[in-house]
Amino acid sequence: MAKRIVTLPGDGIGPEIMAPTLSILRELGDFDFEEHLIGGAAIDACGVALSDETLAAARSADAVLLAAVGGPRWDSTDPQAPRPEQGLLGLRKGLGLYANLRPVRPLPALAEASPLRAQLIEGVDLLVVRELTGGIYFGEKRREADSASDLCIYSEAEIERIARSAFGLARAKVTSVDKANVLETSRLWREVVSRVHSEEFPHIALEHMLVDNAAMQLLAAPRHFDVILTENMFGDILSDEAAMLTGSIGMLPSASLGAGGPGLFEPVHGSAPDIAGRGLANPLAMFLSAALMLRLGLRMEAEAAAIESAVAGALDAGLRTSDLGGSATTAEATRAVLEGLMARKS
């Protein structure tokens, strides 16, 4: 029976990188793709960034594949105006997705594209595990005439479940990142993570690190990290910083998972409206997000590995899009990866 995948191309370069991704997936299995609107495209069509119809379709799917949302045409300082990002936040909440996984593995072929020296990034293989449903992004927001506030709240249950996810994924060590010298939510975070570690995962090493130090160590000693566990806003910032170890944010995939139901798989980069419609977008992070979907969402390990191998092979052969210092178009990048898949199958 075909796996049912809800596809959400979204805004900007989203449709341009979604279409070739589906062509690659069709080479690897039997899938039923069902496209829906999200983000700015949904605002234009129905006035909201995430419609009830789209959320219902996502809930009944085997997996959800999203490209990108956002763009300057929907920017507004009016707190009542719908924003594209509300679609993504609503989707995460509606699907109960609390764990965002962002693997960072710089490829040898792209060593020269990284802003760090090759000897610093050689052997880096880390995973950022970001809590998705709590914290300042979801707290009560207030705006007065001359002030504003955003409430940051975390419960013990929210911290426990994301901590279990991180320890379960770690090979040897979890680095829990917080700001416990200042924030009460971080003090609770540190207490709960320590308890989960001692009671359930004593065989995995645990260290606590303040977020400012973690940001520095990601650049100074990235091989130090195995799994980075952190709350919503810190994870948002640190995972984008970690993406640059690979040479471009256009290379980083992500997965968002919950206790049950479909996962959401998307590249970390944004909608890049400045290059939308020009055929210049790097589709590789989208391809790698599809690989994560196959591995973590559909338990298709061989097919996931095939995409990752084809991407690595194309880069080894010299493929470089503009964000990687080259001139390859979206179509040329897609063709190179498809050729790699065909060669593997023959």
CB 279 within 8 A of CB 333: no
Catalytic residue among 62, 226, 236, 323: 236
240 is catalytic: yes
Catalytic residue among 44, 212, 274, 316: 212
DSSP assignments along 1-32, one per residue: -PEEEEEEEESTTHHHHHHHHHHHHHTTS-EE
Residue keyed to tokens 């994924």: 169
236 is catalytic: yes
179 is catalytic: yes
Catalytic residue among 93, 150, 173, 240: 240
CB 185 within 8 A of CB 156: no
E-state strands within 219-286: 227-230, 253-258, 264-267
Starting at the edge strand that comes first in sequence, how are the strands of the sheet with 31-35 ordered? 31-35, 3-10, 63-68, 264-267, 253-258, 97-104, 126-131, 227-230, 173-178, 205-210
CB 281 within 8 A of CB 332: no
146 is catalytic: no
Strand partners, 65: 7, 265
Catalytic residue among 93, 150, 173, 179: 179
Catalytic residue among 93, 137, 150, 173: 137
The distance from CA 9 to its chain's CA centroid, rounded to whole angstroms, is: 15
Q: How far apart are CA 195 and CA 201, in angstroms?
A: 9
Residues classed as catalytic: 137, 179, 212, 236, 240
